[in-house]
Amino acid sequence: MSPSVASPAQTVPTARRALPGAPFLAAARGERPAHTPVWFMRQAGRSLPEYRALREGTSMFDACFDPEMLAEITLQPIRRHGVDAAILFSDIVVPLKAAGLDIDIVAGTGPVVAEPIRDAAGVRALPVLEPEQVERVAEGVRLLVGSLGETPLIGFAGAPFTLASYLIEGGPSRNHEHTKALMHSEPELWHELAGRLADMAITFLSAQLDAGADAIQLFDSWAGALSERDYREFVLPHSAKVLSAVAGYGVPRIHFGVGTGELLVAMRDAGADVVGVDWRIPLDEAVRRLGGGVVQGNLDPALLHASWPVLEAEVRRIHAEGRAADGHIFNLGHGVLPGVDPDVLTRVVGLVHELQ
């Protein structure tokens, strides 16, 4: 289990911590730590009663911009589950909100944009994100790195394609029809929009890294809607811009998307040190396609609702498949679903840590 962690500290470090014994960071470098590290996407909240109690009466955005609250929410699953890394409590659309866009996170729906952006005027009116606009997030990061002990903190941002999809569609989309239509019909406008969103992601990630985050993950949640050809032409240059911009920090860069089995090599080529894999392909097949490297994943989140013998068998299978990689970080193939028993997550962590 991970070392105990304190409540958010009032004294905060100004430099990134040295964490030579952190299994998560070792695996991300392609090393073989004493146990396979594990963390869960959406581990900060969702299934935790202490999270729901803390969030009661507080909107998602208010929680994301409250340094003490976001730090406490980030710490909760570390205390409860003993995972090997913390993931900052935030949302991929936080930088859009911080920059001044009229966007809301609607329960049961997701991000909803008041005025979708579908023309040149809308793209050129997109505001620039300034570092001071996410200073309260950075303050939360500084509180966390003063409280996490030896546990690394993962910062994150949404990739340009996924952010653009929300802005163009006006919210979550099954088919991304408006996004794809603009991408193909007005490629210059698309690249201008994606470039602006890449700059926004760079500012957001840099703020987290400057405050002491130990790794970053770039979420391209909806990239799986694209062919590899379209991904390489319209998306890869902008994700590569983001990942390249933070390379100088020397921290692991994870790249993850849903339904991206056919895009894994392209996502690696964008500059990822670690490629996140969803549950649709076996990890050893992902490693074969990638020709090696470090992978993260890839338990089907729905199976957290299965009986323990079924879940245990799946965890053991994925752990065994992960041995094909140079390094393996155990995770889900997407985020924790609401209604999952937190004790099941704790039990999965214990099992992963026991496996050799």
* Catalytic residue ranges: 42, 46, 55, 91, 166
- DSSP β-bridge partners for residue 63: none
Cα–Cα distance measured from residue 159 to residue 177, given in angstroms and rounded to the nearest whole number: 18
Q: 6 burial class (0-12, 13-18, 19+ CB within 10 angstroms)?
A: exposed
Cα–Cα distance measured from residue 123 to residue 163, given in angstroms and rounded to the nearest whole number: 13
Task: Report residue 341 as tokens.
Answer: 């028993």
Q: Which amino acid is at 5?
A: V
Is the bond into 175 cis (omega within 30 degrees of 0)? no
Q: 103 burial class (0-12, 13-18, 19+ CB within 10 angstroms)?
A: buried
Cα–Cα distance measured from residue 196 to residue 166, given in angstroms and rounded to the nearest whole number: 14
Q: What length does the chain have? A: 356
Q: 317 burial class (0-12, 13-18, 19+ CB within 10 angstroms)?
A: middle
